[in-house]
Structure 1
Amino acid sequence: MPHHLVVKGIHLVVNSVNLGGVTVKRRPSGQHHGDLRNALEQAALALVKERGPHGFTLAEACRRAGVSVSAPYKHFADREALLASLALKGYEEQYRRYRAAVAGGTDVAEQLAAFAAAYVRFAAEERALFDITFLAGLDKSRHPELAKAGKNLFDMLVPIAHQVTPDQDTALDLLTRIAAAAHGLALFLQQGMLPAGRENLTQAAHQAAHCARALVAQQTHTPH
């Protein structure tokens, strides 16, 4: 009669093995990421907040995420690719914020003022994303998705500026000047360069909105 041996329900978990008196510990696997990509992005964001977009290595992001140094290459070819992924998130967050800002009214000057104020708030409230998006020096020829995301922003906003002037190029120029003023105020706020009494987010956003209204008024009274 054949002998049957049935073994079931056995689970072996080996955390250490003793070999001739030497205990070899099992190397922890770190976080078991089905979410490795997100873990690396969050680690990089934290490092950018601490040191800026140029102040860390890919290996440091791995250590912060609790994964091996070879882990990123499943998702990111190099450190720039990791930053480019975050820059894309920065553009997407801007799109969400600016679209909500301009949706709040129908007066063109007020819509563009709301955009300018939202720009300054984004820079202050999402400092790491702002720095990555604008200060990391990413090569957009290597990451065409970033150029496309930036174009999406202008494609959303230019039609609003176009209501001020019938000329497409002039509308683009107006929007660029409004964005440049907001960008400068955002950097001045970050670097503590605004005048005393105006060195806070509320005042900087108010000033950006004021600049936008002034630029719209200037364009409106400029002979075409």
Structure 2
Amino acid sequence: MDSEVKRPSGRHHGDLRRALEAAAMDVVAEKGLAGFTLAEVSRRAGVSVAAPYKHFADREALLATLVLRSYEEQRRRYRAAMARVADPVEKLAAFASAYVRFAVDERSLFELTFAAGLDKRARPELAEAGAALLGLLEAPAHAICGDDQRAHRLVLAVAACAHGHAVFVLEGVLDGPRDARRQAASAARVLANAHVAL
């Protein structure tokens, strides 16, 4: 009876990759990037230390997969938050608030995005995914500025502001997530209104 409940080591019904990714996220969540090794991921997934190499060339390849997952989840959340409002200034504010929320709700994924130490020049898919995130801000920024160059500066300013608030709340500089989200949204509005085309 026990054998029906407990799977033999290394058997994941043909979905070894998913099992390794789930185990990798557990390792990052519990031990951080410093404690992230393929050996530990293999142990958590219940497979041999050679098993990850069936899907990932090395530690960095598995980390890159997790970072891509983070970008995809961020893009989904930010797009949904921005879709709830019509005004371009409020779209940027919604992005900033959602950015902070993601950092708090998905701390492991957030930290992976910026602390995995991966060379994005060697992994263009990561650079493209990051650019796609910023791309969400381009239309509202252009609607506010009416000029490509000023819109680009506004995109970077809002993204940097949101990131700063996210880091501050994670580091305990700000009182709490709700306050940080409110402040990030407010700061995004100030930046946006300062760029309104005359």
- Provide runs of 4+ in structure 1 moved above 3 Å: none
User: Cα RMSD between the aligned structures?
Assistant: 1.6
1:47 paired to 2:23 = no
Aligned partner of 1:205 among 176, 181, 184: 181
Distance 1:91 1:112 in 2: 18
Residues 150-180 of structure 1 show CA distances to partners (whole Å, capped at 9, x for unaligned) of 1212222211101111221211111111111
Structure with greater helix percent: 2
CA offsets per residue over residues 62-110 of structure 1, 9 Å max, x none? 1011110000111100111101001001110111011111111111111
Question: What is aligned with 1:114?
Answer: 94
Identify unmatched segments of 5+ residues in structure 2: 1-7
Is the alpha carbon distance of 1:163 and 1:220 closer, same or farther for their aligned partners in structure 2, counting shifts above 3 Å?
same
Counterpart contact for 2:134–2:159, Cα < 8 Å: no
Whether 1:98 aligns to 2:78 is yes
Q: TM-score, normalised by structure 1?
A: 0.81
Matching residue of 2:119: 139
Deviation per CA, 1:107-157, whole angstroms, max 9, x where unpaired?
111110000000001111111111111111111122211111112122222
Which position in structure 1 is the counterpart of 2:40? 60
Percent of pairs identical after alignment? 58
TM-score of the superposition, structure 2-length normalised? 0.92
Match of 2:191 among 201, 205, 215: 215
Per the alignment, residue 148 of structure 1 pairs with 128
Structure 1: which amino acid aligns with 2:162?
A: A
* Secondary structure in 2 matching 1:54: helix
1:105 aligned counterpart, secondary structure = coil
Rg: which structure is higher?
A: 1
Q: Contact 2:162–2:184 (CA<8 Å) still a contact in 1?
A: yes
